[in-house]
Amino acid sequence: MPFPYLPCPTSDSRFQAGFRELECGFTSPRPTMIQLPYIEPVFRPPSEARSLILQVTNGCSWNKCTFCEMYTLPQKKFHLKPLEELEAEVAAVAQSGHPVRRVFLADGDAMTLSFRRLNDIMEIVKRHLPGIQRVSSYCLPRNLKNKTVEELATLREMGLDLFYVGCESGDDLVLDRVQKGESFESSLAALRKIKDAGARSSVMILNGMGGMKYSEQHAKNSALLMNEAQPEYLATLVVSFPQGMEKYEEGFRGEFEPLDQQGLFQEMFWLLDTLDLEKTTFRSDHASNYLVLKGTMNRDKARLLATVKQALERPGTVPLRPEWLRGL
């Protein structure tokens, strides 16, 4: 089923702003609504709400992480989109008259593509959409092993300059339990390569990933990884299991006990307290989070720690997202 390129109006102000931007303020002729042939479901970071989503791959080439259910449906088996199909889609967007300033390369694993293919994709984007200001993509650390700093710098110069890196944890034991296929060192190597290429990284850490037993080491080692990498952006999400915990629990060999709300706040306190960042935009405002936190580290570290401490020591005195408003 095709997805409309334009975002649907919702109560989310970011979506509404993006919709107005695309639909209003045009001189004649008015842009044409188009549809792109996405393979559902399609995922993107919240900050890409106004972006054109180009599904250059389908699914995830790794797809073994026990916490991730994004690409488990039969139609999400990993494969590449032929370049001629991709160019036809980009050309259709260009011909529609819609102003496109940002592009997100989906699905979950676009950076598994070779440098040559990514270069070809960027040439297609630049040829048809010369006004593009930014191109971004999810990025598994392992997928940068076969790309040099010079190649990443070339992609950055073409516009691909932001990588959403799901480190999830900086603790090797936790990473092994969830079958991430990465380590502290492999994640750090990828983040350093991105920085050396002059590009930016937005890192995701999963709150609650280690359960009660490994909560403290998960939080503190994740913070140590961030201290070494100094990413431009850092976000936390809460691990969740809409399809059940059986597969996840198997990896922990009976040791996993999910954190309750207070446990999540304690883990966040350990993370923030250990972080030592020069200038990183920090967000814990994803729909999965109970406690919304926003700031720049380390500038706002004391304020953020005080908020978490208040939530721990004086429950009910800090606004929390109600359960019915939480999402994945």
Residues 132 and 181 in one domain: no
Residues 131 and 261 in one domain: no
Residues 60 and 109 in one domain: yes
State how far the alpha carbon of 292 is from the alpha carbons of 37, 242, 265, 289, in Å.
Answer: 35, 21, 11, 6
Residue of 78, 77, 86 whose CA lies nearest to 118: 86
Please, what is the average pLDDT of the chain? 89
Q: How many domains does the chain have?
A: 2
For residue 94 the two structure tokens come to: 């260009």
**For residue range 214-235, what is the model confidence (pLDDT) as tens digits?**
999 999 999 999 999 999 999 9
Residue 127: what pLDDT?
97
**Lowest mean pLDDT, pick from 9-18, 104-113, 144-153:** 9-18
Does residue 156 lie in a domain region? Answer: no
Does residue 160 lie in a domain region? Answer: no
% of the chain with per-residue pLDDT over 90: 80
Q: What is the DSSP string of 61-103?
A: SS---TT--TT-SGGG--EEPPHHHHHHHHHHHHHHT----EE
Q: What is the DSSP string of 167-179?
A: EE-S-HHHHHHTT
Residue of 288, 283, 321, 320 whose CA lies nearest to 304: 283
DSSP conformation class of 107: S
CB atoms within 10 A of CB 326: 15
Does residue 208 lie in a domain region? Answer: yes
Could you give phi then psi for residue 153, rounded to 5 degrees? Answer: -65, -35
**Lowest mean pLDDT, pick from 247-251, 257-261, 310-314:** 247-251
Does residue 158 lie in a domain region? Answer: no
What would the mean pLDDT of 74-83 be, rounded to a whole number? Answer: 94
Q: Give the domain CATH number at 174.
A: 3.30.750.200
Give CA–CA dist 319/294, Å, rounded: 14
Domain span at 308: 165-321
Residue 108: what pLDDT?
86
Residue 328: what pLDDT?
64
**For residue range 87-102, what is the model confidence (pLDDT) as tens digits?**
999 999 999 988 899 9
Give CA–CA dist 227/279, Å, rounded: 11
Contact between 231 and 203 (Cβ < 8 Å)? yes
Which residue in this structure is represented by tokens 């609504």?
Answer: 33
Residue 2: what pLDDT?
28
Q: Give the domain CATH number at 135.
A: 3.30.750
Contact between 113 and 57 (Cβ < 8 Å)? yes
**For residue range 271-313, what is the model confidence (pLDDT) as tens digits?**
999 999 999 999 999 999 999 999 999 999 999 999 999 999 9
What would the mean pLDDT of 136-164 be, rounded to a whole number? Answer: 97
Residue 241: what pLDDT?
87
